[in-house]
């Protein structure tokens, strides 16, 4: 994983988040490593949430625009 702030594609961020979850669920990491992974997971989940929110807003705008044109 990376600590650098990167503009991930949703799929990449989600895949990395899944890998972190798997590592944490394994229970084989040290406490310090687990905390690092958790922090990175939080960042990735925020990236995913923002991308999903943006997609949702775009869909709503497109639907609203289409509805206006149909009336």
Q: Is the pLDDT at 70 greater than 70, yes or no?
A: yes
**Interior angle at CA 43, CA 5 and CA 2, nearest 5:** 50
Q: Kindly list the domain boundaries of the chain, sorted by start residue.
A: 10-70
Select 10-70's CATH number: 3.10.310, 1.10.3470, 1.10.287, 3.30.70. Answer: 1.10.287
Mean pLDDT rounded to a whole number for the chain:
91
Q: Is the pLDDT at 38 greater than 60, yes or no?
A: yes
**Residue 47 phi, psi (nearest 5):** -65, -45
User: pLDDT band at 68, cuts 50/70/90?
Assistant: confident
């Amino acid at each position: 994983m990376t600590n650098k702030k990167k503009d991930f594609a949703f799929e990449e961020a989600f895949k990395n988040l899944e890998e972190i979850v798997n590592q944490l669920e394994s229970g084989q990491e040290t406490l310090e490593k687990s905390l690092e992974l958790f922090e990175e997971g939080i960042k990735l989940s925020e990236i995913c949430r923002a991308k999903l929110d943006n997609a949702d807003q775009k869909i709503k705008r497109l639907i609203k625009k289409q509805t206006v044109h149909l009336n």
